[in-house]
């Protein structure tokens, strides 16, 4: 435990890493965060996780996501906005464990953020989904994101989006697709590589 605490202190604003009993190095939850919101959905973990990985479906339930474009297997470009306003930015998935965890970071320089989402089974057979985000803008934007009011507004937005996802997946009752791959340090892991079948890229989203 002492070594893990030292690692957290070395990088207090990033998820860091942990080594599990199986010898696999995985991300550790954000130690510092501006936002943490949890919602319980009445579907199994596998169903909730599978649907979450279908990033292109987010505009179907989100009030702010207007579009998601695949750039590379671990990089997507998100367009968000209110009314006529639009903002496009790239996001890299740095860690992903099927049915358990996903961590990402924005690739833009100003502002910047990172986040994670965890999936945990509940006693009722549903899923508890927790989203944590750390906002790390540059320049004058720091003043606004460090205020408690800004944190509350961001938390409300994340909560509302989780509730929208809850209604969406519970209405479907089953996932509309899935990507079950594992990502470590921004790279897709291939435990059992298969011979290439075509030259068409296989993207990890639906």
Model confidence pLDDT, tens digit, residues 89-146: 999 999 999 999 999 999 976 656 889 999 999 999 999 999 998 877 554 444 444 5
CA within 13 Å, CB half, 34: 25
Over residues 73-98, the mean pLDDT reads 92
Cβ atoms of residues 158 and 133 within 8 Å: yes
Over residues 172-182, the mean pLDDT reads 81
Model confidence, pTM: 0.74
- Per-residue pLDDT, 32: 61
17: its two tokens? 């890493």
- Per-residue pLDDT, 187: 83
- Per-residue pLDDT, 185: 81
Over residues 80-92, the mean pLDDT reads 90
Long-range contacts of 72-80 (CB under 8 A, 24+ apart): 73/188, 73/201, 73/202, 73/203, 73/204, 74/183, 74/186, 74/187, 74/188, 74/204, 75/107, 76/205
- Per-residue pLDDT, 188: 83
In whole angstroms, give the CA distance from residue 97 to residue 55: 16
């Amino acid at each position: 435990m002492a070594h893990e605490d030292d690692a957290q202190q070395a990088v207090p604003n990033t998820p860091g890493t942990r080594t599990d009993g199986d010898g696999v190095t995985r991300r550790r939850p954000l130690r510092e965060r501006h936002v943490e919101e949890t919602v319980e959905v009445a579907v199994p973990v596998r169903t909730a996780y599978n649907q979450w990985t279908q990033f292109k479906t987010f505009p179907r339930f989100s009030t702010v996501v207007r579009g998601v474009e695949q750039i590379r297997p671990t990089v997507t470009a998100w367009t968000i906005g209110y009314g006529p306003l639009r903002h496009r930015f790239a996001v890299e998935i740095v860690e992903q464990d099927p049915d358990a965890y996903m961590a990402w970071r924005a690739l833009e320089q100003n502002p910047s953020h990172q986040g994670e989402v965890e999936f945990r089974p509940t006693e009722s057979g549903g899923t508890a989904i927790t989203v944590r985000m750390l906002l790390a803008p540059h320049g004058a934007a720091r003043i606004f994101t460090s205020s408690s009011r800004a944190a509350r507004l961001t938390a409300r937005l994340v909560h509302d989006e989780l509730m929208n996802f809850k209604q969406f997946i519970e209405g479907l009752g089953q996932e509309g697709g899935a990507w079950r791959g594992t990502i470590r340090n921004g790279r897709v892991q291939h435990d059992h590589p298969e011979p290439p079948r075509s030259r068409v890229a296989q993207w990890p989203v639906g």
